[in-house]
Amino acid sequence: MTTPAPAFAVDPVFGPDTAGNCVLQSSDSFKFKVHHIVLSIASPFFRDMFNLPQQSGSLEPGELPVIPMTEDGETIQALLLLIYPGQLTRIQTVELAIKLAVAWDKYLLPPDLLQAALRRTIYSDKEFFQSFPLQMFGLACRLGMDTEARLASRYTHREPLADSNAGTLFQFTGSIQPLLDLQHLRIRREEALDSVVMALLDRNLLCSTHGGTHNIGIGGDMSTHYQTFEAIKEQVREALKTPFPAEKCKQPLLFFGISKVCTVTTTETIVGIRRRVVSKCPTCFFELSTQTIEKIASAVAEYPQEVGCRAR
């Protein structure tokens, strides 16, 4: 059962009983009592705004000026908690992080504050990378967070880069470059794929049924070998979409799912019922040498896995 999100409430730090001297009003009508000196120190946008001549006589005695904002209450509160000294930051969703990034640019706030807050929150949680890889990559690119962009890019390999996802990346970054960088990474990965397959696919490790030379003394059928190569290539391509394949290929046959390609079909009879049984080929890849395993590990380690963000 999904727990409903708690209703938004203004933090007491910005409540009506605090000693602020102006009020920010969100687009959804929440009011935040703040100190204009804090906003002015943090942002040249607010500093210039507060230095503008104020209309005399427009406020009643004791009444504070109200500044309408285009951002919603959640975004304004998160922004204020970041720039007010000693306050805890609550960035618990990618959506809020993106809204903050847009507001951060708008109000000319120092990027290091937001970057540090995001590193402590969503960029320290693996689940965000797994659930929102494109958003995490796009946000990191927008904020110039190269290490985080590289990490996020590792989780994007299964994501389609067309239609709505392309629009999503552009929306988060304001640039087409991150999308182009991910597309170029895909091209590099495809070009490098054969090197991993060739490290794995030694014809001496295949039986004659699957186009190899194992146990037959002469060259096997090349057309069958090509079919096996293409089937194994697809298995390798899919396996390498995992974010950190080098950590998982210590058992390459298991990691790449070779048993799904090199199979044999037999029949068996159980209680008078005859049926086909598909099982792993007992001859192909009977044993990988240490040298072959090291060769595969080296090819996987050199396989393109990530791309960073370009300086803004």
The dihedral over CA atoms of 118, 124, 127, 129, expressed in degrees to the nearest 10, equals 60
Residue 288: is its pLDDT beyond 50?
yes
* The predicted structure's pLDDT at residue 223: 66
With H, G, I as helix, E, B as strand and everything else as coil, classify residue 195: helix
* The predicted structure's pLDDT at residue 218: 43
What percent of the chain has pLDDT above 70?
78
* The predicted structure's pLDDT at residue 9: 92
Whether residue 168 contacts residue 138, with contact meaning beta carbons closer than 8 Å, is answered with yes
Residue 293: is its pLDDT beyond 50?
yes
When comparing pLDDT for 251 and 118, which is higher?
Answer: 118
Average confidence (pLDDT) over 192-215:
72
Residue 252: pLDDT band with limits 50, 70, 90:
confident
Give the relative orientation of helices 133-142 and 94-106 as an angle to the nearest 10 degrees.
Answer: 20
* The predicted structure's pLDDT at residue 219: 47
Average confidence (pLDDT) over 29-44:
95
Q: What is the pLDDT of residues 105-147, one digit of tens each?
A: 999 999 999 999 999 999 999 999 999 999 999 999 999 999 9
User: First and final CA of the chain: distance in angstroms?
Assistant: 43
Average confidence (pLDDT) over 34-55:
90
Average confidence (pLDDT) over 215-237:
68
Q: What is the pLDDT of residues 68-92, one digit of tens each?
A: 999 999 999 999 999 998 887 779 9
Average confidence (pLDDT) over 154-176:
82
Radius of gyration of the chain (CA): 29
Q: What is the mean pLDDT of the chain?
A: 84
Residue 312: is its pLDDT beyond 60?
no
Which is nearest to 201 in space by CA: 112, 113, 284? 284
Residue corresponding to tokens 């190569």 = 229
Retrieve residue 225's tokens: 């070998």
By DSSP bridging, strand 22-25 and strand 66-68 are parallel
Give the relative orientation of helices 111-120 and 94-106 as an angle to the nearest 10 degrees.
Answer: 170
Q: What is the pLDDT of residues 49-69, one digit of tens each?
A: 988 876 655 666 678 889 999
Residue 268 bridge partners (DSSP): 275
* The predicted structure's pLDDT at residue 268: 62
Q: What is the pTM of this model?
A: 0.82
* The predicted structure's pLDDT at residue 57: 58
Residue 3: is its pLDDT beyond 50?
no
